[in-house]
Structure 1
Amino acid sequence: MKDTSRTEEFEELRPLLFSIAYRILGSVSEAEDAVQEAWLRWESTPTRPASTKAFLSAVVTRLSIDVLRSARVRREEYVGPWFPEPLLEDPYEDPERSAELSDSLSMAALLLLERLSPLERAVFVLREVFGFGFSDIASAVDRSEAACRQLAVRARRHMDEGRPRFEADRKEREELAGRFFDAFREGDVDGLRELLAADVHMVGDGGGKAPQWARAIVGPDKVARMLTAMTEPFHRIGVVVEPHRVNGQPGALFRDRDGRVLNAFSLDILDGQIQTIRSVINPDKLGHIGPVADAWALTHEALRVRREQSARSRGRRGPRGA
């Protein structure tokens, strides 16, 4: 007979376990697998631990460290920039620490965590994000408390050197993002340009499996023109922009005419301007959101529409000297 109380205990902790695993791994699918494996181990444990939370957090942390170590090789061979899988909703809620949890979930923070060793990353997530005591952390990573304190100091130092900063006021960020996506939909170059920081970067993650920019696009003029060049042809083939929080920050999903996910945009906003635009278009990283669009086919269709539009425009102007 199934132990319902054990199941209930696990389900109560599932949001926390997923949130720990996702921050360590940067992958929704791998985090879900780690949580499922933690359940199997919990179900087969013959005795009840003193703390279910400490036990399950330790299990999911160890599993995540193992996966991260093997994933490092794959990420080194990755085609183009690597970004975490976009997460639309963090299942773990703590109203008193919602701002900290949101910032620790951002693309910028997760990319900064990539610089840490797997152990440093796990210790930082458990200590700085979720507030675990060093005795529980030591048990989770199989190191002494003294070693964990040293790992925490090193991890904090690395993170502080490049820690992302965001607008304190969430409402202001959302309003600015709304203006950005309005200008984007309208193809308003000037409207976009005034919202972009002087050193704004736009970077895409296609993983070699979808169209992406060969390198980062830098500067407000180049970024604004690239964005507006996309607007009309994609609008004509039915692509819609759906504003959404992505990894705790303002962003959007792009969907094709059938509602399938084309890509996810995430915006870093600071000092009233957009600092970084990250686009995740690798189809392998979007499947957890819903059915995925064929980015290559849509891009070819959009380019064809753009060529036809240009040809009609030239035809209306007539030959030179006419």
Structure 2
Amino acid sequence: MERAETFEGLRPLLFSIAYRILGSVGEAEDAVQEAWLRFERSQAEPRSPKAYLSAVVTRIAIDVLRSARVRREEYVGAWLPEPVLEDPYADPERAAELADSLSTAALLLLERLSPLERAVFVLREVFGFEFGEVAAAVGRSEAACRQLAARARRHMAEGRARYAADDAARGELAERFVEAFRAGDVQSLAALLASDARLVADSGGKAPQWRPSFTGARQVTAVLAELAALFDAARCTVECRRLNGQPGAIFHDRDGRVVNTWSLDILDGQIQTIRTVSNPDKLRHLGPVADAQAVFEDAARERRSAAAAQDG
């Protein structure tokens, strides 16, 4: 019973470590569960359950990531991390590191690192583990881990986006953007997009989409206008939500099931990137998932009926 209580107290931390290494809610939850099974079976009593379990879940996540990379190379279209509504682990002393590392943009930067670099960066730079603990977790010397951390920091710094400091302003802009989408206000949508704005879509080949990405305000505005009309015809709803610590939105069908999510990168008062996830396998942890194909077919029928009524 005491081990179970200890483990449950550490579960938020273990999930947060695994999720940042893997970018997958399901895989992170599986890694945490496997860590519990190993902890439960272990005969020895670790001096520090936190260090022991963090090391176990890290090793499991590294092994999973190595096999997952093969699957991601074969993935249909753009691959994006699974969106999360909140980070279950909170540490006021490392709030900035935790928030920054949870963003979709940061998780995509982590994808560029090797599994070992990624694990070392997460443990050291995000969660503040000592190098001795990091070395024990990944099975490398402290000197090697220092080199891995330096290399990882360099790669992350090279690609890191510069987010505006005013989080409230970004949230307000996201609300205006979503409201313009609800209203089908194309001019307002266009005005809020950066000239080189991008829309990146992850369907995994399991939901309708035109193509994985669009670049430039004109292209993105055209796609958004078409989507707004389709969602309106299908009577979908959209709500502003924070996803991965950043402004975003969740779309639901008329029965309240999740259709897709948006994560918004905002800089200098403009939308820089919209990342949308519609792969149903990546949305199940958010609630019941809609059949996106059925939603779009329903929208097409509604539009045909409306057009026929006008012609009649």
Q: Partner residue of 2:119? A: 122
Amino acid at match of 2:51: A
Residues 1:197 and 2:194 are matched in the alignment: yes
Deviations 1:94-113 (A, max 9, x none): 23433331221111111111
Q: Partner residue of 1:135? A: 132
TM-score, length basis structure 2: 0.96
Residues 1:295 and 2:292 are matched in the alignment: yes
Deviations 1:156-197 (A, max 9, x none): 111111012212111111101011001110111111111111
Partners of 2:94 and 2:127 within 8 A in 1: no
1:53 aligned residue (35, 50, 55): 50
Alignment of 1:272-283 (within 5 A): 272-283=269-280
Offset at residue 151 of structure 1 (A): 0.6
- Percent identity over the alignment is 67
Offset at residue 144 of structure 1 (A): 0.3
Q: Partner residue of 2:66? A: 69
Of residues 142-151 and 226-235 in structure 1, the stretch that sits farther from structure 2 once superposed is 226-235
Which SS does the other structure have where 1:87 is aligned?
A: coil
Q: Which runs of 5+ in 2 are unaligned?
A: none
Alignment of 1:124-273 (within 5 A): 124-273=121-270
Of residues 245-254 and 44-53 in structure 1, the stretch that sits farther from structure 2 once superposed is 44-53
Which SS does the other structure have where 1:194 is aligned?
A: helix
Aligned equivalents of 2:303, 2:162: Cα separation in 1: 38
Partners of 1:203 and 1:213 within 8 A in 2: no
Q: Which runs of 5+ in 1 are unaligned?
A: 317-322
Of residues 144-153 and 232-241 in structure 1, the stretch that sits farther from structure 2 once superposed is 232-241
Aligned equivalents of 2:84, 2:223: Cα separation in 1: 25
Which SS does the other structure have where 1:243 is aligned?
A: strand
Q: Partner residue of 2:13? A: 16
Offset at residue 289 of structure 1 (A): 1.1
Aligned equivalents of 1:215, 1:39: Cα separation in 2: 38
Aligned equivalents of 1:35, 1:165: Cα separation in 2: 32
Which SS does the other structure have where 2:286 is aligned?
A: coil
Offset at residue 301 of structure 1 (A): 1.6
Offset at residue 227 of structure 1 (A): 1.2
Q: Partner residue of 1:106? A: 103
Amino acid at match of 1:138: A
Aligned equivalents of 1:234, 1:119: Cα separation in 2: 42
Partners of 2:233 and 2:303 within 8 A in 1: no
Shift >6 Å, 4+ stretches: none
Offset at residue 302 of structure 1 (A): 1.3
Residues 1:42 and 2:31 are matched in the alignment: no
Aligned equivalents of 1:99, 1:169: Cα separation in 2: 13
Partners of 1:233 and 1:305 within 8 A in 2: no
TM-score, length basis structure 1: 0.93
The total of aligned residue pairs comes to 312
Partners of 2:250 and 2:262 within 8 A in 1: yes
